[in-house]
Amino acid sequence: MIAETLSKQVYEHIIALRGGPVEYEYSNGANLKLRNHAYPWSIIAAEFDALYNIITMNNLKRGYEACTGVGISGLAAAMAMKKTGGKVVSLDCYVEEHNNYWEYNDEKFNSEKTKVTDSDGYKSVFYLREIFGVQDQFIPEIGWTPDDVPSTLEKHYTESLDYVFIDGGHLPEQVIADIKAVLPYTSRETIWAFHDCFPQVWTDDVAKFCKNNLDGELKIICPASKGASNLGILVNHDFDYMEMI
């Protein structure tokens, strides 16, 4: 399948799925979500293609993402990793599904670091892995970021990551904490992607932290002005990418 049209075929296939452990629908016209949950929402099709292309164009093989949601961004990475011979490990505690809201606003849930082991999002990941034949490339783990990042990554990798996608709590302090947790397992050649890079999330403090610790500056490749959610990449060395929309 051609990369630029891959997401259209994937999304149409997912929407048409019936009779499995979960079913899907569009929310906001472009994001996928589970029929019986208000949140989380997936990346949109153009963002799916952008992540897929970044991985395949740069032959990336060791990936990590925070967080999983219903598994669409992980699926994009896994389908790309199937071509490159790699895998992506995805970490989530499924708090958005638990709260039925995108904000991590359940104090008790957060303070106890509860992990929803029977979530529909987790079922969705295993379902999508089977449907698209990426069981070996898409590795889901249940846990919290940043707390469970070291044990998760050390379980699966002995070499530095070359792909990181951060799409966790949409707060500046959480973005910095997520980066700090993954940083020891990366190198200067690692390609970092971030979702929801809106001004209230990607603040001056976040930008300064990335400049000082990753020597990188954010470039939005799928902007909100075109219907995406400000998908961005850190540019700190030469690599191939394309602005999808």
Reported as type and span, the H/E element at residue 164 is strand 161-166
Provide φ and ψ at 231, rounded to 5°.
-75, 125
In the block, tokens 């452990």 appear at 21
Provide φ and ψ at 221, rounded to 5°.
-110, -15
The residues, ordered by sequence, that sit 6+ positions from 89 with a Cβ below 8 Å of its Cβ are 63, 64, 65, 139, 141, 152, 153, 156, 157
Report in angstroms the alpha-carbon separations of 223 from 33, 80, 86, 164, 220: 20, 22, 28, 19, 6
Name the token pair of 100.
Answer: 């039925």
Please give the pLDDT value at position 109.
44
- pTM here? 0.92
| Longest CA pairwise span in the chain (Å) | 50
Please give the pLDDT value at position 243.
56
The residues, ordered by sequence, that sit 6+ positions from 143 with a Cβ below 8 Å of its Cβ are 91, 92, 93, 115, 149, 151, 152
Q: What distance lies between CA 197 and its chain's CA centroid?
A: 13
Residue closest to 68 by CA, chosen among 36, 34, 26, 20: 34
Please give the pLDDT value at position 108.
46
Provide DSSP, 64-109: EEE--TTSHHHHHHHHHHHHHT-EEEEEE--HHHHHTSSS---HHH
Please give the pLDDT value at position 2.
45
Please give the pLDDT value at position 132.
98
Domain definitions of the chain by residue range: 3-235
Please give the pLDDT value at position 102.
61
Q: What is the pLDDT along the chain (245 residues), one digit of tens a residue?
A: 444 478 999 999 999 999 999 999 999 889 999 999 999 999 999 999 999 999 999 999 999 999 899 999 999 999 999 999 999 999 999 888 877 666 655 454 455 566 667 899 999 999 999 999 999 999 999 999 999 999 999 999 999 999 999 999 889 999 999 999 999 999 999 999 999 999 999 999 999 999 999 988 999 999 999 999 999 999 776 666 665 54
* Packing angle, helices 149-156 and 172-182, rounded to 10: 40
SS3 49: helix
Residue closest to 216 by CA, chosen among 186, 185, 188: 188
Name the token pair of 218.
Answer: 């954010």
The CATH superfamily assigned to 3-235 is Vaccinia Virus protein VP39 (3.40.50.150)
Provide φ and ψ at 162, rounded to 5°.
-115, 0
